[in-house]
Amino acid sequence: MFPTLRTIKAPITQTNRLNFARLLSIKALTTPNENALKFQVDRQILDDPNSSYQINVLNQAQSPLAAKIFEYSSDVDNVLIGSNFITVNKNEFAHWNQVKPVVESILESHLTKKEPIIDLKQVERFQTGALPEDARGFLTEEEQEISEEVAELIETRIRPAIQEDGGDIVFLRYHDGKVYVQLQGACTSCSLSDDTLKAGIQSMLSHYVEEVEEVINLAEVEFNKFEERLKAQRENRH
Contact present, 36 and 89 (Cβ < 8 Å): yes
Q: pLDDT band at residue 4, thresholds of 50, 70 and 90?
A: very low
pLDDT for residue 17 is more than 70? no
For the chain, domains (ranges, CATH) are: 7-125 (3.30.1370.70), 128-237 (3.30.300.130)
Q: Which tops the pLDDT comparison, 188 or 22?
A: 188
Q: pTM value?
A: 0.68
Of residues 226 and 174, the one with the higher pLDDT is: 174
Question: Average pLDDT of the chain?
Answer: 81
Specify the pLDDT at position 236: 64
- pLDDT score of 198: 72
pLDDT at res. 99: 96
pLDDT at residue 8 in the model: 45
152 pLDDT higher than 60: yes
Which tens digits make up the pLDDT trace of 118-144? 999 888 776 644 444 444 446 788 888
Ordered DSSP codes for 218-231: --HHHHHHHHHHHH
Q: Is 236 left (phi over 0), alpha (psi -120 to 50) or beta?
A: alpha
So what's the pLDDT on residue 2? 42
Higher pLDDT residue, 171 or 129? 171
Strand 178-185 relative to strand 214-217, pairing: parallel
- pLDDT at position 35: 93
CB–CB of 132/227 below 8 Å?
A: yes
Is pLDDT above 90 for 189?
Answer: no
